Amino acid sequence: MNYIFYFLIVVSVILGAINGKLSDVVNAILSGAELSVKVAFSLIGIMAFWLGMMKIAEKSGLIAIIARIIKPVTKKLFNEVPEDSPAVGDIAMNFSANALGLANAATPIGIKAMKELQKINVDKKSASNAMCMLLAMNTAGFQLIPATVIAVLIGIGYKNPTEIIAPTLLVTSITFLSAITLAKIFEKFWKPQKGDE
């Protein structure tokens, strides 16, 4: 990725010099760097807030309550995962973080859930159906509140950043349901194999 950005910058500078617009290119680079710092600082506040809320929810037992509430759904979607597995709580936390638009917070929780799912995976050399389902759900990225996107819009000075909520909810709901449906369909074709434990 670094090479791609380096290539784009070099090409921009060369083309700017050829067209006599080198000063415009340099100004655009400097103003873009300034804007990226502003956006990063606006993200720090909102990410710290929501990550703190997730930690409070975990410590207060709210995540355990959420896990119990969505247990019928997780039991249906992750039917090969035992009910007492720590993966159920991790999946609930991961879903909650994604629903709040906290992809950065959801990633380590998702990795933890994957590790728990790997412990109960019968074939250690390939992903289980539960692991594929979790990956599909994460990739679809269902969001009730796109907190990160709202923070970016606030950072760039957008007038009404919350208007993104309804379209994001619609699109992520469709992709989320599609991902679950496709994972369940493909699950019928690839049955778990007994591997070396």
Note down pLDDT in tens along the chain; length 197 residues: 788 888 888 888 888 888 888 888 888 888 888 877 877 776 777 677 767 877 787 788 876 777 677 777 877 888 888 877 888 878 887 887 777 767 777 788 888 889 999 998 888 888 888 899 999 988 887 887 787 777 778 777 888 888 888 998 899 899 999 999 998 898 888 765 554 44
Q: Is the dihedral of CA 94, 188, 169, 150 positive or negative?
A: positive
Long-range contacts of the stretch 56-59 (C-beta < 8 A, 24+): 57/96, 58/93
Residue 139 lies in a domain: yes
Residue 193 lies in a domain: no
Query: Domain count of the chain?
Result: 1
Residue 89 lies in a domain: yes
Residue 87 lies in a domain: yes
Residue 5 lies in a domain: no
Considering only CA atoms, which of 173, 172, 183, 102 is closest in space to residue 136?
183
User: pLDDT value at position 197?
Assistant: 43
- CA–centroid distance for 72 within its chain: 23
Q: Tokens representing 192?
A: 């778990």
DSSP 158: -
User: pLDDT value at position 174?
Assistant: 93
Distances (CA, A) of 28 to 17, 156, 168: 14, 15, 30
Residue 72 lies in a domain: yes
Q: Residue 177, Cβ neighbours under 10 Å: how many?
A: 12
Residue 14 lies in a domain: no
Residue 103 lies in a domain: yes
Range of the domain at 127: 40-187
Considering only CA atoms, which of 170, 171, 169 is closest in space to residue 143?
169
The whole-angstrom separation of Cα 127 and Cα 78 is 13
The whole-angstrom separation of Cα 20 and Cα 3 is 25
